[in-house]
Structure 1
Amino acid sequence: MNEQIRVPKVRVISETGEQLGILSTRDAIDRARMVGLDLMEVGPTENPPVCKIMDYGKFKYQQQKKEHLARKKQHVNEMKEVRMRPKTDDHDLDIKTNKAREFLKDGCKVQFTMIFRGREQLHQHIGRETFNDIMTKLSDVSKVERETRLEGRRMIMILAPAAPPKKPVPKPAAKPKQEQTGPASSEAAKTEPSQSQSEQPAQEPAPAGVNNGNETI
């Protein structure tokens, strides 16, 4: 970076991604300083080396963020192991089950291992009953990846984190109905007789000999 670049000439890329061509290293550093940035070597194996004008602090932050995400992804794929014996009491089993719940919520797989020694191998049903009980207690945060099976003196079961529930897709809101204001409604209005015309009483004829205006009927 900057004065640590020892070659006399470099191919420079601006902060906006523009190719500036081959410049002397000193000129490239001065150009970066003029805009308040740094000259970073991004292609040291090229001839001449490729450098880019950028914000070193921002670049370092982005690199740390990528490393953090990579470590987090590695942590998700990690396998945890919870060991127990056929003689493990209920209190200790609850503690181990709660710890396994935390591992599963963190995205880790959990291998449950029960070790049988000596005459304990005659009581393998204890291991299966214990694992079935653990499986039931953790069913809300896990799924069975490997069923209970015996490997030598060890009984093993593996649980994986349960897939998150799918979010329901919201339905589009229904559009409100608009009142009809087109020609059809106006025609209907024309065909309906007005109340004043339909309810107006018929005019009775005047009796004979009565002057109705200018004429005598």
Structure 2
Amino acid sequence: MSTYNYKKETTIKTTFNRNNRRDLGPRINNKILAKNIQVISETGVNLGVMPTAQALQMAIDADMDLVEINANNIPPIAKIMNYGKYKYEQKKKISEARKNQKTNELKEVWIKPFIEENDLKIKMKKVFEFLNEGDKVKISVMTKGSKRVLAIGARSGATTNLFERVIQIIGDKGTIESKSKPDERTRSIIIAPAK
């Protein structure tokens, strides 16, 4: 025998709250709530305080939009402008700013403590590519591993010698920003591009 579970339907009443409205940009044309506004013409001339209906009619006659620029001012400030063109120009400015903005990243290159000379040249070539792009480079030396390798590396000072070779190869193409503490298992240096 099958049973059916009757669930009680519930309805949720929602109310519109002006304070919680999403910010969709400035109010334009008929969406302006103030009765009187201070109007600025499309050329930037202050036309003074006037009723919103009169300012809206002026915008319609000029084949433009009435855009509320500062709603917090008393009376609010509105400008007569082509809102579509204004939005397009703002979007274009933001896009250009993003294009021109270069984010510098921290790139990391791992090196073994007993690296061969040719392998080191290849790693350093990659480091120079990152520095030429304007990025900082963290060169890390793998000191963890079997106890025998650590003992040999600690006695011979392999990581210290390796860092000295790396610094010598970099020369004036980069500046050392920081070094890791000698007691850490993974040792590293951070190199910034030369200015």
Q: TM-score, normalised by structure 1?
A: 0.56
| TM alignment of 1:30-179, pairs within 5 A | 31-32=58-59, 38-54=65-81, 55-56=85-86, 57-69=88-100, 71-72=101-102, 75-76=103-104, 78-117=105-144, 118-119=146-147, 120-122=149-151, 123-124=153-154, 125-147=157-179, 149-163=181-195
CA separation in 1, counterparts of 2:29 and 2:123? Answer: 56
Q: Tell me, yes or no, if the aligned pair for 2:175 and 2:191 is still in contact at 8 Å.
A: yes
CA separation in 2, counterparts of 1:96 and 1:11? Answer: 65
- TM-superposed CA distance for 1:158, in Å, is 1.4
Question: Structure 1 29/105 Cα, relative in aligned 2: closer, same or farther at 3 Å?
Answer: farther
Q: Tell me, yes or no, if the aligned pair for 2:140 and 2:187 is still in contact at 8 Å.
A: yes
Total equivalences in the alignment: 159
- Which is greater in Rg? 1
Considering Cα pairs closer than 8 Å and 6+ residues apart, tell me whether 1 or 2 has the greater RCO. 2
Whether 2:43 is the aligned partner of 1:12: answer no
CA separation in 2, counterparts of 1:151 and 1:34? Answer: 77
3-state secondary structure, aligned to 1:135: helix
- Structure 2 letter corresponding to 1:139: G
- TM-superposed CA distance for 1:111, in Å, is 1.7
Question: Structure 1 67/17 Cα, relative in aligned 2: closer, same or farther at 3 Å?
Answer: farther
- Structure 1 letter corresponding to 2:191: L
- TM-superposed CA distance for 1:68, in Å, is 4.3
Deviates more, 1:51-60 or 1:21-30: 21-30
- TM-superposed CA distance for 1:142, in Å, is 0.8
After TM superposition, the runs of 4+ consecutive aligned structure 1 residues lying more than 6 A away are none
